Structure 1
Amino acid sequence: MNRVFIGSEALAAGELTEHELRRWYRPVYRGVYVAASVDPSLGDRTWAAWLWSGRRAVISGLAAAALHGSQWVDVGEPIELIGRNSRPHDGLLVRNETLISGEVTKVSGLPVTTPVRTAFDLGRHLRAETAIARLDALKWATFFSIDDVMGLACEHPGARGLRQLKAILPLVDGGAASPKETWLRMLLIDGGFPPPTTQIPVMDGWRILAVLDMGWDDIKVAVEYDGDHHRTNRAQYVKDQRRIRRLEQLGWIVIRVIAEDRPDDVVRQVREAIRRRTSPRSTVA
């Protein structure tokens, strides 16, 4: 018997008795069960949602993004389905939307919207700020073309949320390695700076010294988001400090941003660094 299963099918096959089903298993969704001792993963809940639909729906939204390798999807996120079953159910979101040829693929045995269709849905259904972060994460995990998503919008001219989708797609960047990096990149763009390049490789002779989160390599100004691991992991901290010193020797200004920094202070530091580098007396090594 599978980890997640339809209770009535297990009973009909003689794999369980009704007493065993009630005693040792619990429902994930109506009629779909998992062992009572198991804390269902996002994957378990995705399978359960598909079974709940009678194996007819297509996995979409964040659950589809996770199946395509996108990170930062919480286990408790509602599982989105495209199908015709509109019965309300906690933890499920069923959308009665149109799917055309080429918009569905198979991942781990499940019917899932393709990366392009998944991007199309995320960009329409989520708040703009959240959608950009989710699209960044999806593009980091799996290739999809922004032009292809725009083309899909032409195939669904009456779809809800197209205006927002078209507005945010030019802002998507697959070089953001985390939602915090997306937040930082958007802070810089909203602050009036030219869109920064992401994942900038810096060579030190024949070897790569660093891959910087974002910045402007023509003037050697970089901005990096430091997560907690930079402070809690001593070996990583020492490595980062040595790397920063060498970057400075090579002429880079590197601004380190932490969660406690005020956005206005970050923008001010970046503006001062760019001013230093673009003043008539400035020279870049």
Structure 2
Amino acid sequence: MSFEQIVARQAGVVAVRQAGACGLSSATMQRRVRDGRWRRLHPGVHLVGGHRLGPEARVWAAWLWAGDRAAVSGPSAAYLHGQPVDVPAVVDLTVPASCSPRRRPGIVLHRRDLTPGDVVFRGGLRLIAPPLAALETAVVLPDGSTFLDRVLQRHVGFPELHAAYCRMLGRRGSRAAGRLLAAAADRADSAAERLLVRLLRESAVTGWVLGHPVGPFRIDVAFVVRRVAVEVDGWAWHVDAERFRADRRRQNVLVAQGWTVLRFTWHDLTTRPGACVAEIRAALDRAA
């Protein structure tokens, strides 16, 4: 591969060792740094003039500095896999447990021995596989359950996600990942319903019943006297077209009979529980 091809593949970033293998002398490389044609990013790693230091360039620079035994991980890997996460502010790298490279600004290092099933290559870049990237990202995001739900809808299957979790048991973030997977696996939405019940009891909200019948339907949590219905949804990745239509038919029937209908998802109940309870209280006050 030529020098130009390497630079194009690596988003404008090149390692000194790569440039040397392409025939560039040390004197030539030093001159290009001095006259500003190359910009030093990390020891032995430079950005070639005319290229922007974008997210992919930052990842390449970090990985080239850490060496080919490292793997891009966490939100950085999730971003490169096209998962729904914002551009990471720092680059996460996983290095073998026996390695102890010095810290660098903009890079977070994690020491762990990866299994072959957790490593993939993308255009020459070594990074963790999509299932492990999704789990590592979900446990560090404030709205990790929402992120993981979106990943399950479009990017990774649950069996692959569970297999990656089993390989990370005992490692950083495995306990939090286990809780998320347990919630995601609950197809009957009972986990979300149990969580809502706990929030209502802790907040001393009374006057509700579970599974109140209205015609052929049942309301998850009903305040019968004030005709306020609270419906809870689990994870969107479980919802198929027929389930979606049935939920909407039930809601239309309730509204037509004078019920106020509130809907909360698992993510609502876990990320903003106080706001959910406040909305219920407000609806009850209006109904009174």
Which residue matches 1:259? none
Which residue matches 1:62? 75
Answer whether contact 2:149 2:235 (CA < 8 A) is retained.
Answer: no
Answer whether contact 1:58 1:82 (CA < 8 A) is retained.
Answer: yes
For structure 2, the 5+ residue unaligned runs are 186-194, 201-230, 264-271
Which residue matches 1:183? none
Residues 107-126 of structure 1: pairs in structure 2 closer than 5 A: 107-124=122-139, 126=140
State the secondary structure of the residue aligned to 2:83: coil
Pair 1:254–1:34, CA change in 2 (3 A): farther
- 1:130 & 1:82 partners in 2: Cα distance? 27
Which residue matches 1:177? none
Which residue matches 1:227? none
Structure 1 residue 148: Cα displacement: 3.7
Residues 188-267 of structure 1: pairs in structure 2 closer than 5 A: 194-196=232-234, 198=236, 216-217=247-248, 219-220=250-251
State the secondary structure of the residue aligned to 2:250: coil
Among all aligned residue pairs of Structure 1 and Structure 2, give the percentage whose two residues are the same amino acid. 22
- 1:101 & 1:65 partners in 2: Cα distance? 18
1:235-277 per-residue CA deviation (whole Å, 9 max, x = no partner) reads xxxxxxxxxxxxx9xxx9798xxxxxx9866666578889xxx
Structure 1 residue 168: Cα displacement: 1.7
Runs ≥4 in structure 1, deviation > 3 angstroms? 35-39, 136-141, 147-157, 170-173, 187-193, 196-203, 214-218, 252-255, 262-274
State the secondary structure of the residue aligned to 1:93: strand
Larger radius of gyration: 2
Pair 1:108–1:190, CA change in 2 (3 A): farther
- 1:85 & 1:161 partners in 2: Cα distance? 21
Does residue 96 of structure 1 match 2:106? Answer: no
Report the TM-score, using the length of structure 2 for normalisation. Answer: 0.58
Structure 1 residue 95: Cα displacement: 1.4
Partner amino acid, structure 2, of 1:220: Q
Pair 1:196–1:10, CA change in 2 (3 A): same
Structure 1 residue 90: Cα displacement: 0.9
1:36-75 per-residue CA deviation (whole Å, 9 max, x = no partner) reads 5543111111122221122221121111111211133225
Answer whether contact 1:42 1:74 (CA < 8 A) is retained.
Answer: yes
1:72-127 per-residue CA deviation (whole Å, 9 max, x = no partner) reads 32253333333434310111122111212311122233222112222333345x26
- 2:128 & 2:169 partners in 1: Cα distance? 18
Quick one: which of 162, 166, 171 aligns to 1:150?
162
Pair 1:91–1:115, CA change in 2 (3 A): same
Report how many residues are paired.
218
Answer whether contact 2:16 2:44 (CA < 8 A) is retained.
Answer: yes
Structure 1 residue 143: Cα displacement: 1.9
Quick one: which of 7, 13, 16 aligns to 1:7?
16
- 2:198 & 2:80 partners in 1: Cα distance? 32
Report the TM-score, using the length of structure 1 for normalisation. Answer: 0.59
Pair 1:201–1:102, CA change in 2 (3 A): closer
Residues 68-83 of structure 1: pairs in structure 2 closer than 5 A: 68-83=81-96
Does residue 170 of structure 1 match 2:182? Answer: yes
Answer whether contact 1:46 1:59 (CA < 8 A) is retained.
Answer: yes
Partner amino acid, structure 1, of 2:119: V
- 1:17 & 1:96 partners in 2: Cα distance? 32
- 2:283 & 2:249 partners in 1: Cα distance? 13
Answer whether contact 2:184 2:235 (CA < 8 A) is retained.
Answer: no
Pair 1:108–1:138, CA change in 2 (3 A): farther
Answer whether contact 1:7 1:21 (CA < 8 A) is retained.
Answer: no
Pair 1:93–1:133, CA change in 2 (3 A): farther
Pair 1:263–1:26, CA change in 2 (3 A): same
- 2:274 & 2:132 partners in 1: Cα distance? 36
Which residue matches 1:239? none
For structure 1, the 5+ residue unaligned runs are 174-186, 204-211, 222-247, 256-261, 275-285
